[in-house]
A and B are shown apart, each in its own frame.
Chain A
């Protein structure tokens, strides 16, 4: 196990797209984080139900998606392609279905590799289906068994990279977001989430090693992206979403401490922190992920990406072709621009990166906390602590201070309501006890046993 005590990237100018200090080389020679940015294409089904009866049509859907996308990738001379297959819950609950689709995608990628020399990698992301039982059992039971089997079968069916959007601690996190309850968020991420990640990722790393697949990374999607979407529709303050993002770093980091080696998952907007701390490559998404959801970080997300993704697009017909094919084209051009800048030299690359950064940071605190210099400063604070909870607490305190200063200096102006909330949240952060045990004790009377089983996290 690796406990990160030093930053892998110390100079903000070195935190840049395409380059990571610990690039990943796949058996076929594709290098991620070694200089080039590649598109990472995601896709999903159009409105339809998933059952044994519809499986033939579903197979056909995925076959068409991947054929057409690969052909377009070749037409556009992409230097490499990553494809993510994010299962739908039914496909994890019946692991054979997910594996079948994996095999279909594998077969097509292999054909294009042989015929057209298209270098590619297949990321497969089974679902965290444990939450289908409420309160969830986190470490055993039928859903757990199916989830593990899904990882195994997909790895055997040809996945190169394994990922998950894990949800341990989420049982109490959603409400905590909506009630703007910072101590509960800190508990969910730093105490529960981190414990669950330790257990879960030890398993994923084992499955990967045994079946020849690379344990790639996790995401705070269920936590920080839920907050981001809620901020986007004005349900919660943006500063709250920004705080949760940086607080989530400590939780996502656990996957890497347990053996994940990247590339980080696309929807993990905390990725730049992961890259700065661990040095592993990351996938990011932004402007071209508008096909899936809106975000306030469309350009700045490109600044540090090693893979550039669209999050998810439904397989519907557009004038330009099937939506996934169209989406791939958008990703390919975005990546091409970044690679052209890199080719032109470090000065040009940095200039492009700085434009990506400058164009977003003043509009939203969630963009501000992705500024490379801010990422490095806050990452340094985070790893000054050794435990996940300590890191979450430090992140909350340091980020609140950083945003206050940014507002004051006019670097990220906030509305009066936002400033008011920053104060309220910052006061909550000040009350966080230094010792994890104290927080655990404090939470004991607040936890609803109908929502969460603390014993599933090794707590009594």
Chain B
């Protein structure tokens, strides 16, 4: 087993301390930061994601693995920056105004992060201005909107309109999700796409950005 294999195993098992130690060791051994990221961390998370899709593990195992990855990333980040490695894309995600449901949104954010995206989490009950700000000032490539209430679905359209009004609609891709919405609704409000769950959200966002 190489140190990268050990790192991958540590993340899959959700052992944050092991992951941390292995990243340090891999750096000492001279592995490039992007190799550690892609072959160690991201590969581990996609492994866990697959086990989840196959019904072998539940979300807790996945989250605990993500937490381990996060710890390891904290060490790795300065090296990635120094090496000039960029995230595959930046996603601003939030639950729309009036809506406090955030479990689904959190899972989508976690899966995207595990796939190498940078996440700007705008939280819950997020007003349209926050999304506009994320695109104008924080470099978001994708706006991801979540709504769980039929009475807050219309606020997704408000965000789309606000992005248009601010003149940045063409700069971003918009993806929506949440139990009451569907592809037809995405089309109706002028979003670029919809995904029914966290793993298909990752596929959809990749497809949208062509990465």
Contact = CB atoms under 8 A, between A and B. Distances in A.
B59 A236 contact: yes
A45 B150 contact: yes
Interface in B137-153: 149-151, 153
A333 interface: no
Nearest to A421: B58
Given A234-B55, A235-B58, A421-B58, A174 B154 contact: no
Given A90-B98, A132-B100, A226-B103, A47 B153 contact: yes
A46 B150 CA distance: 7
Contacts of B57: 417
A47 B58 CA distance: 32
A228 to B, nearest CB: 13
Contacts of B102: 174
A279 interface: no
Interface in B45-79: 55-60, 63-64
A237 interface: yes
- Of the candidates B60, B102, B155, the one having the most CB atoms from chain A within 10 angstroms of its own CB is B60
A89 B98 contact: yes
Interface in A34-83: 44-50
B92 to A, nearest CB: 19
B59 A235 contact: yes
A131 B123 CA distance: 13
B58 A50 contact: no
Interface in B81-135: 98, 100, 102-103, 106-107, 123-125
Contacts of B56: 417
B190 interface: no
B70 to A, nearest CB: 13
B167 interface: no
A88 interface: yes
A438 B69 CA distance: 31
A180 interface: yes
A172 interface: no
Interface in A219-263: 226, 230, 234-237
A49 B58 contact: no
Nearest to B110: A178
Interface string A68-111: 00000000000000000000111000000000000000000000
Contacts, number: 57
Contacts of B180: 47
A293 to B, nearest CB: 9
Given A45-B151, A47-B153, A49-B155, A131 B60 contact: no
Interface residues of A, number: 26
B185 to A, nearest CB: 9
Given A90-B98, A178-B103, A47 B55 contact: no
A85 to B, nearest CB: 15
Residue among A50, A89, A131, A132 facing the most chain B CB atoms (10 A cut-off): A89
Contact of B151 (A48, A131, A132, A417): A48
A314 interface: yes
B59 A131 contact: no
Nearest to A49: B154
A314 B103 CA distance: 23
Contacts of B151: 45, 47-50, 88, 90
Nearest to A236: B58
B63 to A, nearest CB: 6
Given A234-B55, A417-B56, A417-B58, A179 B150 contact: no
Given A47-B151, A88-B151, A131-B100, A236 B125 contact: no
B106 to A, nearest CB: 8
Contacts of A49: 151, 154-155
Contacts of B100: 89, 131-132
Contacts of B106: 178
Interface in A136-186: 174, 178-180
A314 B151 CA distance: 11
The residue in B102, B149, B151 that gathers the most chain A C-beta atoms within 10 A of its C-beta is B151
Nearest to A226: B103
Contact of B60 (A47, A236, A314): A236
A47 B98 contact: no
Top-8 shortest CB links A-B: A180-B60, A235-B59, A47-B150, A49-B154, A236-B58, A47-B153, A179-B63, A88-B151
Interface of B: 55-60, 63-64, 98, 100, 102-103, 106-107, 123-125, 149-151, 153-155, 180
28 contacts: A45-B151, A46-B150, A47-B150, A47-B153, A47-B154, A47-B180, A49-B155, A88-B149, A88-B151, A90-B98, A90-B151, A131-B100, A132-B100, A132-B125, A134-B123, A174-B102, A178-B59, A179-B60, A179-B63, A180-B58, A226-B103, A230-B103, A234-B55, A235-B59, A236-B59, A237-B58, A417-B55, A421-B58
